[in-house]
Chain A
Amino acid sequence: MKTVGALTLLAIVCTLLDGSHFELTRDLSEPWRIVTCHFTHWSHEQLAWDALAFAGLGIACMRNNLRAFHATLLASLLLIPIAVHVLTPHVTAYRGLSGIDSALFALLLVQSRRSPLALACALGFVAKIAFETFTGGAVFASNMGADVVALPVAHLAGASIGTIVAILASYTRFPCASLSGSSGRC
C-alpha cells in the first residue's frame, strides 16, 4: 500500500513541477529520466486517469502477489522507456504512468483469468491495444494535449511485461499476500 501511495504522490508532485526536467528525451544524457518519465504527465487530466488506474491496479496487484508486483514495477520502470526510445525514434519526449498501468493490468488479468469478468476486461484491453497499434490513434479523444500523440508501443511493452511476469509467477513459487492479508502461495 505504501509503495503505491508513495508512487502516486510522486506522480502528482512531478506533474505539478516543470515536467521537462523529468520526461524521457532522445539524447539519454540524463539517464535518471528513464525512471522519472513515468511520473510526470502532459496534462492534469492525463495524470488523473493514469494515477487512478495505477492506485487501483497497484493495490490489487500488491495484495495478490507482492513479488510479482515488484518484479512488474521494476521491469516496467526500465523496459518501457527503452522500448519507447528504440521503437519510436520520431518521438522526442515521453511522459506518463500508463505504460506501468498496462503492465499491472495485464498482470492482474492473467492472475484473474478464471473470472469471466476479468476475461471480458482482457478482451477490451487487447482490443484497445490492437486498435492503437494498427491505426496509430487513440480509441478515445486524447487527454494529453494538442500536440501529444498516444504511443501504443508503451502499452504494448507494458502489457507484455505484465503477462510475462504473471506467467513466470505461475511457474515459480513467489510468496504472495492474499487479499485477506494472510501470507500464502500463488
Chain B
Amino acid sequence: MKRIFVWLLMAALTLIPKVLFAAGTLTPANSQAAPMQIREHVVDVVIDNGFARTEVNQTFFNPNDSDLEAVYAFPVPSSASLSEITIHNGEKTLNGEVIEANEAKRVYTEERDAGNDAGLGECACTKPKDEVEYRSYKFSISPVRRQSEVKIRFVYYQPLKIDTGVGRFIYPLEEGGTDEEASSFWTRNAKVEQRFAVNVELKSGWPVDEVRVPGAEAEAKVQKLADGHYKVSLERTTGDLSKDFVFYYRLADDLPGRVELLTYKPHANEPGTFMLTVTPGIDLAPITAGGDYIFVLDVSGSMAGKLSTLARGVAQTLQQFKPSDRFRIFVFSDRARELTSGFVAVSPQSVQEWTQKVEQLRDEGGTNVYDALDQALNGVEADRATSILLVTDGVTNEGIVDPKEFRALLKKYDVRVFGFLMGNNANWPLMRLIAETSGGFYSAVSNDDDIIGQILLAKSKITSEALHDAKLDIKGVKTSDVTGEVIGKIYRGQQLVLFGRYAKGGEADVALQAKLTGKDETYRTTFQFPDVSTEHPELERMFGLAHIEELAMKEQVGVMPAQEAEQAIRDLGLKYQLVTDYTSMVVLADDVFAKRGIARNNKQRIDVEHAAQSARGSLPPSNTRVDQSKPMFSGRSHGIKGGGAFDPWMAVLALVAVAAAVRLRR
C-alpha cells in the first residue's frame, strides 16, 4: 500500500511545467527599453538551530542610454519575514523602513518622480495586488543611471522544520506562473550575467550525517567543520534565476525525541519571545486495514503536456493497492467529473481498465477545485477510512473560490485530504486550509526537490497512525499569543514549532496531550524559561510573521472580520517591521527619513540583530535542548527500521525446498 503514495507523488512531481516563470528583473511589456541586467546574484544563508537567515546581494546594470527604474520580483519563501533592504546607488546608501503600504508607495513615487534615489519593497503575500505577482515580493529601485550599476541587498528570516530527521531549505526562484494577469504585464529577465553564488552555513546542535544540494552535487563544495557544522558553496560564472536552490541536511539517526527552546527577552521586567520546537519520539504504527482512496486530479489547461506522465504515475499507483482497498478517480478543470462510477474494488482487471482510462485524459479549461472536492466527498462511506489525494499545480480560478465555503464543505465529512502542491506561488493558503480542516497535510514540492526524499516522507506519514486531538499546554510560566497551540493531528516524523510571548522567566510544566489509537496520552516535561536572554532577537520578527499567518487564516475561514484582520496584520507589520500585504518597506537615504519624519524603527531592530549575529557567528553550534533532565519522550525522533522480508513467495519457495529435501532423502 505504501507504494501507492510513492507513485502518486512521483506522478505529481512531473506535473510541474518544464518552462516556468522565474525570479528576475521586470520590464513593462510595452517598454522599448532593454531589460535591466543582473550582473551578480549572491545568496548567503545561515541555518542556525531551527531558523535560517538569508541575505541576497544583487547587482543590476542599466544597459540603456537613459536612467530607468529597476523592478525585481521573486517568489515569497515559506514563512519568510523580509526584514532588511539596503540599496547602494553610486556613493549613496539607502536603508529600508516598514510603513503602511499605501503610504510607502506614495513616498516612493514622490521621490522617484522628483528624480531622487529611492526604493520600495512590496508583497502580494496572501492577497492579489496590482502589478505585483501573487505570492511574490517586488522590489523597485529608482533611478538606475544609464550605463551604471546599482546594488541591492535584502535579508529575510524563516523557521525551518525537521521532518523525520531531514531538514530542507529552499531558496525559491522558480514561480508557478499562476498569476497570468500580472505575468502578462511584464517581460522578465532571469539571466545572471557574471556571478551566481549560493553559500550555506549549517550550524546544528545535533550531529548531521549528510548534506545535499540536489541537482548540483558535482558543483557544490561541501566543507565539514564539525559534526553539526557544515559550509556548502555553489559558484557559477553565469546563472539563471529559474531554478530553485534546494539544500537538504540529514541529522544523525537514533536521536531522542526532544524539546528545544530559543528565547529573546532583553529586559527582566518586559515580556519575552520564544520559539519552542517539539520533536516527538513516539512509535506510530503502520496502518494495515484496507481503505478507500479518492484521486482528485487537475487536468486544467496548465497541465498540457503532462497528462501522459500523470497517467503513468496513477497507473503504477493503482497497481500497488491491496485487494482490501478501493479507489475512485475524479478529474477537474472548469468542472469536475468522475472517471469511475463509484468505488472500484481492486483487482488486476480493474487496475488495467482504469489505467487505460486515465491514459486517455486530455487537458481543458480552468481550475475548479471546489467542484472536484464536493463531488469527491459526496458518496464517501462512513464505515471506511477514506483519504483524498489532491494533485494540482494551479490556483483556484473557477467556481466557488471562497475559503469559507471550502471549510464548511470539509467540516461535513470525516475524510483526510492530502495535497500535493506544485510551484512556489501556488495558492498554499487555500491548500493549507483544506489540509488542516480535514486533518490531513499538504506538501509544497519544488521542481528541484530531492524527489525520492519527498516521496519517502509523505509516504511514511500517510501509511502510519497519527496522534489525534493534540494540544500543547504550558503551565508555570505565563504565556500569551502562542501560535499553533491547538495542533490537531501529528503525523509520523512531524516536528512542532510554536512561537509565543512570555511574561517572566521560571520553571514551565509543558504537556503534550493527544489521542493515540483512541487512548489518551500525555507527554510531559519541565524546564526553565530564562528571565533575560539576548541571543536571538530575530525571534520577534518570526513570532510576528507566525501571528500574521494565523490572522490571515482566520480571516480566510471567516472567524475574523476582514477589516479586523487587516488592521491586526498592519499593526504587527509595523511593530515588527515586516513586509506584508498591508505594509511595505520604503528605502531612502537617512536625511530623507529625517525630512519626512519617518521613525527609524527598523534600523534599531537591525542594529540589535546584527550585534547578536556577530556574537553568535564566532561560536560553535549549540544544542538548545531543554528537556534533558526530564525527557518528554522515551522514544527516538526518527530513524530507519530494518527487518528481513520473508514474503509469501519466499516462504512458499522455502517449503518447496523442504519438500525437495524430503523427497531426496526418500
> What's the nearest-Cβ distance from chain A to residue B537, in Å?
37
> Is there contact, CB below 8 Å, between A53 and B645?
no
Q: How far is the CA of A92 from the CA of B250 in the complex (A)?
A: 14
Residues of chain A contacted by B3 (CB below 8 angstroms): 141
Interface size on B, residues (CB 8 A): 47
> What's the nearest-Cβ distance from chain A to residue B260, in Å?
20
> Is there contact, CB below 8 Å, between B2 and A64?
no
Residues of chain B contacted by A101 (CB below 8 angstroms): 644, 646, 650, 654
Contact with A along B641-659 (1 / 0, CB 8 A): 1111111111101111111
The reply to whether the CB of B412 lies closer than 8 angstroms to some CB of chain A is no
> Is there contact, CB below 8 Å, between B663 and A20?
no
> Is there contact, CB below 8 Å, between A97 and B644?
yes
Which parts of A2-46 form the interface with B (CB within 8 Å)?
A: 20, 25-27, 41-43, 45-46
The reply to whether the CB of B666 lies closer than 8 angstroms to some CB of chain A is yes
The reply to whether the CB of A170 lies closer than 8 angstroms to some CB of chain B is no
Residues of chain A contacted by B476 (CB below 8 angstroms): none
Given A26-B253, A49-B647, A146-B463, check contact A111 B640 (CB 8 Å).
Answer: no
Interface-forming stretch among B282-290, B299-307, B539-547, B579-587? B282-290
The reply to whether the CB of A121 lies closer than 8 angstroms to some CB of chain B is yes
Which chain A residue lies CB-closest to B639? A92
Given A92-B253, A98-B644, check contact A147 B651 (CB 8 Å).
Answer: no
Residues of chain A contacted by B644 (CB below 8 angstroms): 50, 96-99, 101-102, 150-151, 154-155, 158
> Is there contact, CB below 8 Å, between A138 and B645?
yes
> Is there contact, CB below 8 Å, between A94 and B646?
no
Contact with A along B235-262 (1 / 0, CB 8 A): 0000000000000000001100000000
> Is there contact, CB below 8 Å, between A84 and B642?
yes
Residues of chain B contacted by A145 (CB below 8 angstroms): 285-286, 288, 464, 641
A146 interface neighbour in B2, B651, B661, Cβ under 8 Å: B2
Which chain A residue lies CB-closest to B322? A141
Which chain A residue lies CB-closest to B662? A179
Residues of chain A contacted by B639 (CB below 8 angstroms): 91-93
> Is there contact, CB below 8 Å, between B643 and A146?
no
The reply to whether the CB of B636 lies closer than 8 angstroms to some CB of chain A is yes
> Is there contact, CB below 8 Å, between B464 and A146?
yes
Which chain B residue lies CB-closest to A59? B658
> Is there contact, CB below 8 Å, between A90 and B661?
no
Which parts of A51-66 form the interface with B (CB within 8 Å)?
A: 52-53, 56-57, 59-60, 64
The reply to whether the CB of B53 lies closer than 8 angstroms to some CB of chain A is no
The reply to whether the CB of B407 lies closer than 8 angstroms to some CB of chain A is no
Q: How far is the CA of A64 from the CA of B459 in the complex (A)?
A: 44
The reply to whether the CB of B596 lies closer than 8 angstroms to some CB of chain A is no
Given A98-B645, A112-B660, A121-B657, check contact A92 B287 (CB 8 Å).
Answer: no
> What's the nearest-Cβ distance from chain A to residue B166, in Å?
12
A112 interface neighbour in B647, B649, B657, Cβ under 8 Å: B657
Residues of chain A contacted by B459 (CB below 8 angstroms): 146
The reply to whether the CB of B556 lies closer than 8 angstroms to some CB of chain A is no
The reply to whether the CB of B665 lies closer than 8 angstroms to some CB of chain A is yes
A45 interface neighbour in B287, B288, B460, Cβ under 8 Å: B288
Q: How far is the CA of A92 from the CA of B653 in the complex (A)?
A: 30
> Is there contact, CB below 8 Å, between A114 and B664?
yes
The reply to whether the CB of B326 lies closer than 8 angstroms to some CB of chain A is no
> What's the nearest-Cβ distance from chain B to residue A100, in Å?
9
Residues of chain A contacted by B660 (CB below 8 angstroms): 112, 115, 117-118, 121
> Is there contact, CB below 8 Å, between B663 and A117?
yes
Residues of chain B contacted by A56 (CB below 8 angstroms): 651, 654-655, 658
The reply to whether the CB of B320 lies closer than 8 angstroms to some CB of chain A is yes
> Is there contact, CB below 8 Å, between B650 and A146?
no
Given A46-B645, A118-B664, A148-B643, check contact A92 B655 (CB 8 Å).
Answer: no
In this complex, the member of B648, B655, B657 whose beta carbon has the largest number of chain A beta carbons within 10 angstroms is B657
The reply to whether the CB of B161 lies closer than 8 angstroms to some CB of chain A is no
> Is there contact, CB below 8 Å, between B286 and A60?
no
The reply to whether the CB of B492 lies closer than 8 angstroms to some CB of chain A is yes
Q: How far is the CA of A114 from the CA of B641 in the complex (A)?
A: 38
> What's the nearest-Cβ distance from chain A to residue B341, in Å?
28
A124 interface neighbour in B642, B653, B659, Cβ under 8 Å: B653
Residues of chain B contacted by A178 (CB below 8 angstroms): 665
Q: How far is the CA of A105 from the CA of B283 in the complex (A)?
A: 33
Residues of chain B contacted by A124 (CB below 8 angstroms): 653
Q: How far is the CA of A114 from the CA of B645 in the complex (A)?
A: 28
Q: How far is the CA of A57 from the CA of B462 in the complex (A)?
A: 36
Given A50-B644, A92-B253, A146-B459, check contact A139 B649 (CB 8 Å).
Answer: yes
Which parts of B103-122 form the interface with A (CB within 8 Å)?
A: none
The reply to whether the CB of A142 lies closer than 8 angstroms to some CB of chain B is yes
Residues of chain A contacted by B654 (CB below 8 angstroms): 53, 56-57, 101, 105, 121
> Is there contact, CB below 8 Å, between B641 and A42?
yes
Residues of chain A contacted by B659 (CB below 8 angstroms): 117
Residues of chain A contacted by B656 (CB below 8 angstroms): 117, 121
Which parts of A125-172 form the interface with B (CB within 8 Å)?
A: 125, 128, 138-151, 154-155, 158
> Is there contact, CB below 8 Å, between A108 and B320?
no
A-B contact pairs, 20 of them (CB 8 A): A25-B254, A42-B286, A53-B650, A56-B655, A59-B658, A96-B643, A96-B644, A96-B646, A98-B645, A101-B644, A105-B654, A117-B657, A125-B653, A140-B647, A145-B464, A146-B459, A149-B642, A150-B643, A158-B644, A179-B662
**Known A98-B645, A148-B642; further 7 A-B contacts with Cβ < 8 A:** A60-B661, A108-B657, A112-B661, A121-B660, A125-B653, A149-B640, A150-B642
What residues make up the interface of A, taking CB atoms closer than 8 Å to B? 20, 25-27, 41-43, 45-46, 49-50, 52-53, 56-57, 59-60, 64, 84, 88, 90-99, 101-102, 105, 108-109, 111-112, 114-115, 117-118, 121-122, 124-125, 128, 138-151, 154-155, 158, 178-180
6 A-B pairs with the lowest CB-CB distances in the bound complex, closest first = A98-B644, A92-B639, A145-B286, A146-B463, A117-B660, A98-B646
